[in-house]
Structure 1
Amino acid sequence: MSRLRLVLPSLADKERVMDYREEFIRNNERMDGCATLREANTFEEWYQVFQDTLKEETVRPGFVPATTYLAVDGDEKLIGMIDIRHRLNEYLLNYGGHIGYSVRKSERRQGYATEMLGLALEKCVELGIKEVLVTCNKENVASAKTILSNGGRLEDERSEEEVCIQRYWIHLGEIK
């Protein structure tokens, strides 16, 4: 049984989403899987981007349709965020992948990322995505372990602005 649930953000999530954002900014960390949350000036601005990205006809230039989920625990605490891109553009194929995710620093090292990725793969099945590309920085050993734990197979490594990106494929027909 899962400790987490993936839920779609709503306007009622303003406080917990902005608190999540502040924790990342305070710790000077990247915010993967958050659909431009770091760059948004307000919750409402971020929420509009989230809404626009849900559909092909409203997705903004340079983006692909995607669904961003909040990963919440039984107490409704926001543990992490995960973004599922419905298709890949050239950049995502080379560096970003289908799924991006983050777990707040105060909740790491408890297996939440592995659980979140597993739940996201179930959503990928619902979207009809049969092969999922997940990438990580080669130095992010924890993320590589998360991907491997969910059936990822390393295809290759590619450089992006002096950073080595590992590209893993997860074939959903092979998930146990």
Structure 2
Amino acid sequence: MSRLRLVLPSPKFKDDLMDYKREFIENRDSMDGSAGLRDSKTFEEWYKAFLDNLKEETVRDGLVPATTYLAISDDGKIVGMIDIRHRLNDYLLRVGGHIGYSTRKCERKKGYATEMLGLALKECIKLGIKEVLITCDKNNIASAKTIINNGGKMENEIYEGDRITQRYWIDLG
């Protein structure tokens, strides 16, 4: 039984999302899968971009259509965010992948990331994505385990300077 549900952002989550953002900034943490929440000055600015990026017709320049979800726990708390890119461009094929995600520091090591990714893969099927590319930094062992626990098979590693990106594929077909 799932402890989480994936929910589309809406204005009712404004305060919780801004708290989520604050926590990541205070912890100097990477905020993957949040559709640019870290860099948005206001919730309204971020929410408008989120809505624009849902569709091919309105996606912002340089981006691909994507759906961002909040991972909400049984007690109603945002424990993470996960972003599904509907297709890949050259950059995403190389190092970004179809899915990005993050979990609050205080909610890590509870299996939430694995559960979030499993739920997101079900959404990928609905979007018609049969093969999902997910990447992570080689040093992010927890993320690699999350991907592997959801059926990820490593294809290769991409070296860029001192960063090594691992590329995993999950077959949903």
TM (norm. structure 2) is: 0.99
Residues 49-68 of structure 1 mapped to structure 2, 5 A cutoff:
49-68=49-68
Q: Which residue identity lines up with residue 154 of structure 1 in the other structure?
A: M
**Shift, 1:159, TM fit:** 1.9
Report the counterpart of residue 145 of structure 1 in structure 2.
Answer: 145
How far off its partner does 1:161 sit? 4.3
Residue 24 of structure 2 corresponds to 24
Moved over 4 A (4+): none
The equivalent of 1:15 in structure 2 is: 15
1:39 is displaced (CA, Å) by: 0.4
Where structure 2 has 5 or more consecutive residues not aligned to the other structure, the ranges are none
Count of residues paired in the alignment: 173
Let me know the Cα RMSD of the aligned residues: 0.6
Q: SS at 1:122's partner residue?
A: helix
Identity rate of aligned residues, in percent? 67
Say if 2:123 is the partner of 1:123: yes
**Distance (Å, rounded) in 1 between the aligned partners of 2:168 and 2:118:** 14
8 Å contact kept, 1:155–1:168: yes
Deviations 1:24-76 (A, max 9, x none): 00000110000000000001001011000000010001100000000001111
| CA distance in 1: counterparts of 2:19 and 2:37, whole angstroms | 11
Distance in 2 separating the partners of 1:88 and 1:65: 9
SS of the counterpart of 1:100?
Answer: strand
User: Any unmatched runs of 5+ in structure 1?
Assistant: none
8 Å Cα contact 1:95/1:160 also seen in 2? no
Please give the TM-score of this superposition, normalised by the length of structure 1: 0.97
